[in-house]
Structure 1
Amino acid sequence: MHFYPTERIALFIDGANLYAASKTLSFDIDYKRLLALFRSKGQLVRALYYTALAEDQEYSSIRPLIDWLDYNGYTMVTKPTKEFVDATGRRKVKGNMDIELAVDAMELAEHLDHLVIFSGDGDFRSLVESLQHKGKRVSVISSLSTNPPMVADELRRQADQFIDLADLQHEIGRTTSDRSQRRRLDNESEATEATEAYDPSDFVET
């Protein structure tokens, strides 16, 4: 990864997209390590995590993770999901956060030097181009190592820097000892359970 120590950096994390990529690569994200990694690369201004929540449920499996992130250095951006039934009669949940991420990136850009987008969604290509026109560096983190690749080719080409999530596994992945320790600690085990239970495959893009 190419970062400069004086750069003002912000992370824009598409939660469902990052989860899907890490699960396909067969490892879990350690969000403490992820934050520490980018704090060591420059001046981390903000780390924003985007996800949709099912507001009408008494309990959501992702809520413990959301609460943990909110208290541990992340800015949470959420909105209620919308449920519908598709033409085949299958229940679907609509929870796309692309607009929220793009608007925040454009608004914060004047205070940043380097924006890091955790998503492989090709819809972000225009956002990356617009940020570059403002003189900003943009890195995209997703994966080419999955089959099929999780990152759209047009997004990867547009980015100033593409970082394969697989190459970060040893720096931000949970180790076996991490999992064992977290199961012994009530507050962190809740975050672990939420991450393991959260399945963004129920979500559809709109």
Structure 2
Amino acid sequence: MYFYPNERTALFIDGANLYATARSLQVEIDYKRLRQHFADRSQLVRAFYYTAIIEDQEYSPLRPLIDWLDYNGFTLVTKPVKEYTDDQGRRKVKGNMDIEIAVDMLNIASALDHIILFSGDGDFRRLVEAVQRKGVRVTVVSSNSTQPSMIADDLRRQADQFIDLEELRDKVSRQRSGQQARRAQVDDSDEDDDYDYYDDDYEGETV
């Protein structure tokens, strides 16, 4: 991957999309290491993290992560999840952050040389093209190593460069001791239950 030490960069992390990609690759993201990885290769101006949250839950599994990011150099952009009932009468939730990402990216583009977008959503292709027309390079981070692929082909083609999250595994994943790893394997089933609503489009049935 190509980064220049003097270029001004910003991270735009689509939280739900990155979570789905990391989960497919069985990678547990260490956001401190992730931010530092790109800060070491450029002049990192901002690190944005976008996610929708269910406000009326007594406890959200996202809350510890959101609080940590907020205190550790990330710009948090959140909004409440919307609930609706589908044609079969099932309650579902939706919390798409595409508009928020697009507005922020276009607003800050003139102050940047390079944007790193963590998402494989093809809806961002036109946004990437618009930013490129302003003279900003765009790197997309997602994965083509999963089945099915997590990166839309048109978005990958539009990006100046594509980085497979699998290539960053050793650089951005959480480092655990042997005891922690064994405990995590035991707890995996419970963790999956906590995050059932947190899929790629942040759309699913309520628990």
TM-score between both structures, scaled by the size of structure 2: 0.88
Range 74-83 or range 50-59, more displaced: 50-59
Gap change, CA 1:26 and 1:179, over 3 Å in 2: farther
Aligned to 1:198: 195
SS in 2 for 1:12: strand
Aligned to 1:190: none
Deviation per CA, 1:71-101: give whole Å up to 9, x if none: 0111100001111121233321110000000
* Equivalent-residue separation in structure 1 for 2:90 and 2:110 (angstroms): 43
Aligned to 1:164: 164
Aligned to 2:101: 101
- Are positions 1:112 and 2:109 aligned together? no
* Equivalent-residue separation in structure 1 for 2:136 and 2:91 (angstroms): 41
Offset, 1:194: 8.2
CA contact (8 A) 1:63 1:194 kept: no
* Equivalent-residue separation in structure 1 for 2:112 and 2:137 (angstroms): 9
Aligned-residue RMSD, C-alpha:
2.2
**Across the two proteins, how many residue pairs are aligned to each other?**
195
SS in 2 for 1:176: coil
Offset, 1:43: 0.3
CA contact (8 A) 1:92 1:203 kept: no
After TM superposition, the structure 1 = structure 2 runs for residues 169-188 of structure 1, keeping only pairs within 5 Å, are: 169-177=169-177, 180=180
* Equivalent-residue separation in structure 2 for 1:175 and 1:81 (angstroms): 32
Identify unmatched segments of 5+ residues in structure 2.
184-189
CA contact (8 A) 1:52 1:79 kept: yes
Which one-letter code corresponds to 1:169 in the other structure? R
* Equivalent-residue separation in structure 1 for 2:178 and 2:44 (angstroms): 24
Identify unmatched segments of 5+ residues in structure 1.
184-192
Which one-letter code corresponds to 2:74 in the other structure? Y
* Equivalent-residue separation in structure 1 for 2:121 and 2:10 (angstroms): 18
Aligned to 2:70: 70
